[in-house]
């Protein structure tokens, strides 16, 4: 039995509606819970690998505890630098975590999360969409000379990231920095995916001037419309994505309305470059006041 036959024997083909040709699918007629059969969890994981991000409507029965239990079916929960709570709340009324900039969740970590599970809790009546991009498709769109260039490049990802640079000196939380290949080989699909986003501080061996232009060039392919899907949230929606093959960006266009989403992330693997080298952690959960 092929992988696709297995998926469709568990989740009917008619319940998988593609959002775009390259990324995203909405899955119907499944009530997410930690008690789903192993074959259903395996089918969901396969759909995440295939479509990069999948969406489930009408999951209002989930609370934080059940979201955590469900996420655990995909692996070990990944801690957040802000704290060790299994569920991270992103509340527009509490503070701005700059989710409206293209990023890979916690790419400053060496083994950054492989899967993210995001639940819509309070959704504004207008706006607040999230956009995802397929970084494997973006890599394939690069002309061959640019693919070869990207294959050889490494970048330093740091927290505080580049978008926090003006206030970095006042930051007292954990300092994290990792050297990642710009192209990683996906451990499950074998695809080559681009590893960039807002945590990138600099390219290794490249001047800041040239690095900024390289960053803009590769990011322009990642964020090209043909590689993206835009999700219009409703309360109770759940999105699950492959954090190794996507980047995403929240849309901050809802004015003074409140937006609350809660996310669980699953611990990932240390990336491996096209040449077989592993990412190198420089600083790992080290506070500024520690020796």
In this prediction, residue 95 carries a pLDDT of 74
| pLDDT (0 to 100) of residue 175 | 82
Which of 105, 110, 237, 242 is flagged as catalytic? 105
Q: Which one of 51, 103, 184, 262 is the catalytic residue?
A: 103
Annotation marks residue 103 as catalytic? yes
Residue of 221, 248, 259, 262 marked active site: 248
C-alpha 83, offset from chain centre:
19
57 is catalytic: no
Rounded to two decimals, what is the model's pTM? 0.93
pLDDT value at residue 91: 93
Q: Give the pLDDT score at 162.
A: 59
Mean pLDDT by 10 residues, the chain (291 residues): 80 97 98 98 98 98 98 92 78 82 95 97 97 98 98 94 50 79 98 97 96 97 98 98 98 95 97 98 59 33
* Residue 180 annotated in active site: no
DSSP character at residue 66:
H
- Angstrom distance (rounded) from CA 84 to CA 76: 13
Amino acid 41: pLDDT: 98
Map tokens 């960053």 to a residue. 215
**What is the per-residue pLDDT for 132?**
98
Smallest CA-to-CA distance from 132 within 254, 230, 57, 51 is with: 230
86: closest CA among 39, 125, 119? 119
Active-site residue 105, yes or no? yes
């Amino acid at each position: 039995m092929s992988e696709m036959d297995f998926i469709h024997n568990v989740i009917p083909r008619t319940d998988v509606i593609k959002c775009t040709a390259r990324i995203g699918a909405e899955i119907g007629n499944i009530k997410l819970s930690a008690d789903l059969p192993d074959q259903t969890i395996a089918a969901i994981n396969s759909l995440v690998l295939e479509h990069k991000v999948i969406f489930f409507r009408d999951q209002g029965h989930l609370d934080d505890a059940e979201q955590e239990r469900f996420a655990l079916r995909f692996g070990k929960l990944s801690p957040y630098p802000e704290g060790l709570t299994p569920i991270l709340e992103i509340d527009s009324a509490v503070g701005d975590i700059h989710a409206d900039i293209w990023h890979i969740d916690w790419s400053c970590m060496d083994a950054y999360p492989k899967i993210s599970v995001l639940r819509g809790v309070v959704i504004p009546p207008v706006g607040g969409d999230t956009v995802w991009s397929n970084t494997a498709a973006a890599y394939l769109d690069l002309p061959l000379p640019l693919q070869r260039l990207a294959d050889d490049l490494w970048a330093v990802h740091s927290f505080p990231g580049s978008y926090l640079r003006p206030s970095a000196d006042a930051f007292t939380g954990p300092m994290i920095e990792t050297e990642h290949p710009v192209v990683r080989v996906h451990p499950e699909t074998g695809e080559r995916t681009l590893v960039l986003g807002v945590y990138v501080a600099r390219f290794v061996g490249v001047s800041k001037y040239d690095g900024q232009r390289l960053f803009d060039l590769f990011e322009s392919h990642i964020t090209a419309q043909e590689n993206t899907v835009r999700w219009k949230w409703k309360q109770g929606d759940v999105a699950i994505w492959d954090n190794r093959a996507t980047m995403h960006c929240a849309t901050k266009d809802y004015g003074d309305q409140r937006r609350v989403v809660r996310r669980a992330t699953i611990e990932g693997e240390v990336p491996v470059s096209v040449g077989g080298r592993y990412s190198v952690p420089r600083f790992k959960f080290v506070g500024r006041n520690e020796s």
